[in-house]
Amino acid sequence: MKRVILPFVISCCFIFESIFARYFPEGLFGGNYIIVPHFLLVALLLMGVYYSRNRAILFAFIFGLLFDVFYTEILGVYMFLFPLSVYIADKMMKILQNNLFIAAIVIIFNISLVEFLVYEINLLILKLPMTITEFLEYRLLPTLALNVIFFIIMALPFKLLFSKMSRYLLNE
């Protein structure tokens, strides 16, 4: 039963992300903002910090591939970026203190990194007409705000779940 919990939680984040993106009103804040939920990435980063880096990278690879297949035009972008982000977060947390405030900063950094790299890849391949200032104003800042809210709501439950699963992993 305990082996099913993590795939279930990560799958729920994957599904909730698409549900949120579909039903969130686009013009809610009166602008042309592009708000991208990265609930899956937040969960994967917390999993890497509080559970197991290697398993989090495996989940990130699998769900990154699923994300590419279902939502993007270019295969391999998220399949590469999600595991890279988990790896970077793990290395950053080994240098910094391991608490939720530092984890929030690391997660914000990694979401920004993923968003910026996706922007650059789309700019290079798809020739997007969005300048860097438009990207920062209309996509990055609203995306970070949404994901920080998600982090504030879900950080403690995820931390408790992943810490409990980590203790279970050590007892195996």
Rounded to an integer, the average pLDDT of 73-94 is 93
User: Residue 73's pLDDT band (boundaries 50, 70, 90)?
Assistant: confident
For residue 29, being part of any structural domain is answered with no
- Residue 172 confidence (pLDDT): 64
pLDDT at 69 over 90: yes
pTM for this structure? Answer: 0.93
Region at 152 (left for phi over 0; alpha for psi -120 to 50; beta for the rest): alpha
What integer pLDDT is reported at residue 51 of this predicted model?
92
**Residue 168 vs residue 10, higher pLDDT:** 10
* Residue 37, both tokens: 């939920």
pLDDT of residue 171: 72
Measure the CA–CA gap between 169 and 3, rounded to whole angstroms. Answer: 10
How many domains does the chain contain in total?
Answer: 1
Q: Is 28 inside a domain boundary?
A: no
Q: 103 in a domain, yes or no?
A: yes
Which domain does 117 fall in, by range?
2-23+35-171
106-165 pLDDT per residue, tens:
999 999 999 999 999 988 887 778 889 999 998 999 999 999 999 999 999 999 999 888
| Res 80: pLDDT | 96
HEC readout, 93-154 = HHHCCCCHHHHHHHHHHHHHHHHHHHHHHHHHHCCCCCCHHHHHHHHHHHHHHHHHHHHHHH
Q: Is 6 within the bounds of a domain?
A: yes
Would 106 be classed as within a structural domain? yes
pLDDT at res. 29: 63
Each residue's pLDDT tens digit, 18-68? 999 888 877 666 678 888 999 999 999 999 999 989 999 999 999 999 999
Long-range own/partner contacts, residues 124-127 (CB < 8 A, 24 or more apart): 125/74, 126/73, 126/74
Residues, the chain, total? 172
Give the DSSP letter of residue 73.
Answer: S
* Higher-pLDDT residue of 75, 114: 114
Cα–Cα distance between 114 and 117 in angstroms, integer? 5
Residue 63 in any domain: the answer is yes
pLDDT of residue 1 exceeding 70? no
* Per-residue confidence (pLDDT) for residue 68, from 0 to 100: 93
Please indicate, yes or no, if residue 30 is contained in any of the structural domains: no
**94 within some domain:** yes
